[in-house]
Amino acid sequence: MPSLEIGGAERSLIGLLEALENKSVQVSVFLYRREGEFIKDLPQYVRLLPEIPAYHAYTEPILSLVKHGRLRFAAARLLAKLAFFLYGTFMRKPTGTWTHLQYISAFLQPFLPNIPGEYDLAAQYLGVADTLVHKVNAKYKVAWNHTDYATQHPNPKLDRRVYTNVDYVVSVSESCTVAFRRMYPAFSQKAVTVENCLARELIERKSLLPAAGMYREAGETVLLSVGRFCEAKNFEAIPKICTVLLKRGLSVKWYILGYGNRETQIREAIQAVHMEDFVVLLGKKENPYPYIRMCDIYVQPSVYEGKCVAVREAQLLGKPVIITDFSTAHS
């Protein structure tokens, strides 16, 4: 995993590791950066492998790499950026975050050391699986897919290099598996579905804590959305939706939990329609469950998802859920 910062895939991993506890397995976890709020939630039986600083090059800014004399990594990142630009411009192909990550991962591989150990099975639980293919010694290798692959605009050539060398490609819902098979029919036999594991007892226990910053006025309906502040979550649409609800005479307050690089756009969208008193950003919360427990309706306005962990958690806590009709929503 890149890290164990707050996120749906990260929560899903914790759930999977809890489900494996007391089974006849030994589990090691390797993080590109040994950081994140969920590290302390790793079950005690899990061995957290030592950090390898070279893997910081995945996310460390290029200028920082140059400043610290890590010139090979800086050059690899620059070449990746150039290759990504040329692919999108001259091949006239749609690109996105996943495409960019493909190039970063491919260009960094020659400079990354192997991850220590020999394993029966290794899984790249989030992100491009080059590291799994090239840097891990395991009998079986599994690439995990958490989203609707049809929305990711991958470079098929780079993908095929990876998926040719893994044993399975796991998707978190059947509709995601179908989307992957449709894109890569040659790998259909490798594509399987493994639903996200939810840590039910942990979620229910944590939901009983206070929801600091969330308030309910008399007669008010409290709405909640949780997720990273990114394009996929579509939180910029919330303020305009809220104006429609208010015009229809509904008394609502809409809270948003999360963090990310689109926070400025979300705040600007709130200000543009004067929804400061009705749409409230509560920021990054390590424990979202008290807020889910306190809300009346959980809303996921995403433009695409794989199998949204927050939606499943809201359902687990007995909340009615509204989601947009993205391609994998019916799962």
- Going by C-alpha positions, the residue among 224, 94, 238 that lies closest to residue 154 is 94
Q: Taking the alpha carbons of 132, 138, 139, 140 in that order, is the dihedral positive or negative?
A: negative
Per-residue model confidence (pLDDT) at position 94: 86
Single out the residue of 255, 257, 253 nearest to residue 218, CA to CA.
253
Query: Dihedral of CA 209/215/217/220: which sign?
Result: negative
Query: What integer pLDDT is reported at residue 177 of this predicted model?
Result: 94
DSSP assignment string, 52-94: -GGGGGGTS-HHHHHHTT-HHHHHHHHHHHHHHHHHHHHS---
Q: Cα(217)–Cα(238) distance, rounded to whole angstroms? A: 20
Domains of the chain: 8-193 (3.40.50), 203-323 (3.40.50.2000)
Task: Report the DSSP pairing between strands 297-300 and 321-323.
Answer: parallel
- One digit per residue, the tens of pLDDT, for the chain of length 331 reads 999 998 889 989 999 999 998 889 999 999 999 999 899 999 999 999 999 999 999 999 999 999 999 999 999 999 999 999 999 998 888 898 899 999 999 999 999 999 999 999 999 999 999 999 999 999 999 999 998 888 889 999 999 999 999 999 999 999 899 999 999 999 999 999 999 888 788 889 999 999 999 998 889 999 999 998 988 899 999 999 999 999 999 999 999 999 998 999 999 999 999 999 999 999 999 899 999 999 999 999 999 887 888 999 999 999 999 999 988 788 7
State the residue for tokens 């997720």. 227
Report helix angle 97-108 to 156-163, nearest 10: 60
- Spatial CA neighbour of 98 closest among 232, 6, 220: 232
**Confidence (pLDDT) at 30:** 98
Pair 196, 12: CB distance under 8 Å: yes
pTM: 0.82
Instruction: Report the pLDDT value the prediction gives residue 202, as an integer from 0 to 100.
Output: 83
Q: Helix 309-316 and helix 8-20: axis angle, to 10°?
A: 60
